[in-house]
Amino acid sequence: MTDFTRIHQMIEPHVAARPDAVAIIDTDGTRVDWRGYAALVDEGAALMSGHGVGPGDRILVVAENCLAVAVAVMAASRLNAWAVPVNARMSAAEIARITAHAQPRLTLYTSHVSKEAASHAEAAGASRVETGFGAVHLLEADAGSGEPVEDGDGQVAVILYTTGTTGDPKGVMLTHGNLIFAAHASRDLRDLTAADHVYGALPLTHVFGLASMLMASALTGCTVELARRFTPEALHNALRRGATVVPAVPQMHALLMSYAAEHGHARLDSDRLRYVSSGAAPLDPAWKRKAEAFYGLPLQNGYGMTETTAGVSGTRNAIGDPDISVGPPLPGVDIRLDESIGKEPGVGEVQTKGPHIMKGYFRNPDATAQAITGDGYMRTGDLGRIDAEGRLHIVGRAKELIIRGGFNVYPPEVEAALNDHPAVVQSAVIGRMVQGDEEVLAFCQVKDPDAVTAADLAEYASGRLTGYKRPSRILIVEALPAAATGKILKHKLLSHFADRLAEPA
């Protein structure tokens, strides 16, 4: 490990050793070397300071992926301020709630790359400012005094607001130490070197993209190519162009393979790609084999959440390994199971402890106390088991566990059975209360809605699932509600498809 205490310090060794090497490729193809990156961070810090930002102040960054986000986060670090990245595709009401809670001194809108950010900026009355990292909009506010500043790496660097199912937003406080640890963990897990080219479609406003892409690349000194938002076409082009490392979520892989098949490619043609990972959802063995055949590489899996700075565990498997776990704990990370929550032997709530655990929820000590045990373990809310080799298997969310006729139904198992059908791109399974029991509802996004019926999928699932696990109803849909990461927003399924569910089955 290094003796960095601030995330912007990770840039400095590369400025000294490889100033002309490419650090970031912006969304428009502009290449910025390490010397230029550092200069832009200096410019960003001066700009923020000129608008009244001081130590402990919050800087809201309403954004889609671009160089300006990276600069803003690192510039905030230089000022001992706290960056608060939020996705520009959030609604005005959602951003208003976060703004009211975070009380930023300054809001920066990446209006030059995002029409949504531009719309929010216009509605807020923000002013356009030309900078070396783009023509952004700024809005200054009187936010009162800043938060206390710590000398060590326990100082808060970033607040990320979680996508909660209900209630007020919760701001996850991640420290410089959290992010530096995550950068090391991601670098070591992926064997990153300065020669790597990381494709960055994961949003920097979410922990996976921020920690596993931006921070890991800054520590390593490799290139990160930023994509404003994910499209399978752009990812396919980037891979054929020379990207070497692709951290992604299963939905991205599924859509990429579907896109490639539509264009006559049974497998990926790339000479440089060497590492592909999946996160945010369990793997199905058949789907994993299909993905590995497409890439010609092992598909690595991992597990984490915002409150754990992304990383808890990860795999380092060879191609063809049937392991569908999320791997053993990362070095320095401890995992235990609370089987009082699991309701069956060997299954319990995953709890984790280590330098990856958040400082807490901003201005919400009650929620912090509920999330972190007295001995420092984070309650993840995920159900898991640990196999004989010490590998963690996630079987579902504690709150998403479906109890049907007294039997436990884990949505990932049902989703895996449906996803194995060649017509299905991805699926989401939830429970719904009916007359004192729970029914299993499945929502399946398919390649061609005219090519498969719900009855076809029900028959397919019946050969793979025991009776009580089979969906009571299957809805075929063109798209599932999802966050910018591609993560399916299950809590929105019932309201999003309320009209369809009201129709006779």
User: In the chain, what are the domains?
Assistant: 7-177 (3.40.50.980), 230-398 (3.40.50.12780), 401-502 (3.30.300.30)
Higher pLDDT, 167 or 449: 449
To 10 degrees, what angle do helices 232-241 and 250-262 make? 80
Kindly state the tokens that stand for 367: 């929620």
Give the β-pairing of 134-140 and 106-109: antiparallel
- Chain-centroid distance, C-alpha 100: 24
Average pLDDT over residues 239-246: 91
Residue 406: band (very low, low, confident or very high) from pLDDT cuts 50, 70, 90:
low
Q: How many CB atoms lie within 10 A of CB 450?
A: 7
| pLDDT tens profile 326-385 | 999 999 999 999 998 766 789 999 999 999 999 999 999 999 999 999 999 999 988 899
Mean pLDDT of the chain: 91
| pLDDT tens profile 425-484 | 899 999 887 766 788 999 999 988 888 999 999 999 888 887 878 999 999 998 999 877
Residues linked to residue 442 through DSSP beta bridges, in sequence order:
429, 474
Q: Is the pLDDT of residue 172 over 60?
A: yes
Poorest-confidence range of 307-311, 335-339, 407-411? 407-411
Residue 172's alpha-carbon distances to 87, 206, 231, in angstroms, are 15, 11, 28
Burial of residue 116 (number of CB atoms within 10 Å: 0-12, 13-18, 19+): buried
Angle at 480 between CA 477 and CA 482, to 5 degrees: 170
Q: Is the pLDDT of residue 298 over 90?
A: yes
Query: Which residue has 């590489």 as its token pair?
Result: 297
Q: Is the pLDDT of residue 83 over 60?
A: yes
Kindly state the tokens that stand for 301: 């899996």
Angle at 232 between CA 459 and CA 87, to 5 degrees: 105
Q: Is the pLDDT of residue 21 over 70?
A: yes
8 Å CB contact between 57 and 105: yes
Distance in angstroms (rounded) separating the CA atoms of residues 98 and 31: 33
Angle at 202 between CA 197 and CA 208, to 5 degrees: 100
Q: Is the pLDDT of residue 488 over 60?
A: yes
Residue 166: band (very low, low, confident or very high) from pLDDT cuts 50, 70, 90:
very low
* Whole-number pLDDT of residue 397: 73
Kindly state the tokens that stand for 379: 């309650």
Q: Is the pLDDT of residue 1 over 60?
A: no
* Whole-number pLDDT of residue 165: 40
* Whole-number pLDDT of residue 143: 72
Q: Distance between the two ends of the chain, CA-based, in angstroms? A: 57
Count of positions (residues) in the chain: 505
Average pLDDT over residues 107-124: 97
Give the β-pairing of 171-175 and 360-361: antiparallel
Distance in angstroms (rounded) separating the CA atoms of residues 490 and 282: 15
Q: Is the pLDDT of residue 135 over 90?
A: yes
Q: Is the pLDDT of residue 119 over 70?
A: yes
Kindly state the tokens that stand for 236: 């396919």
Could you give phi then psi for residue 207, rounded to 5 degrees? -65, -35
* Whole-number pLDDT of residue 485: 67
E-strand ranges in 329-389 read: 334-338, 348-353, 360-361, 378-386
Q: Is the pLDDT of residue 297 over 90?
A: yes
| pLDDT tens profile 42-73 | 999 999 999 999 999 999 999 999 999 999 99
Helix (H, G, I), strand (E, B) or coil at 326: coil
Could you give phi then psi for residue 237, rounded to 5 degrees? -65, -40
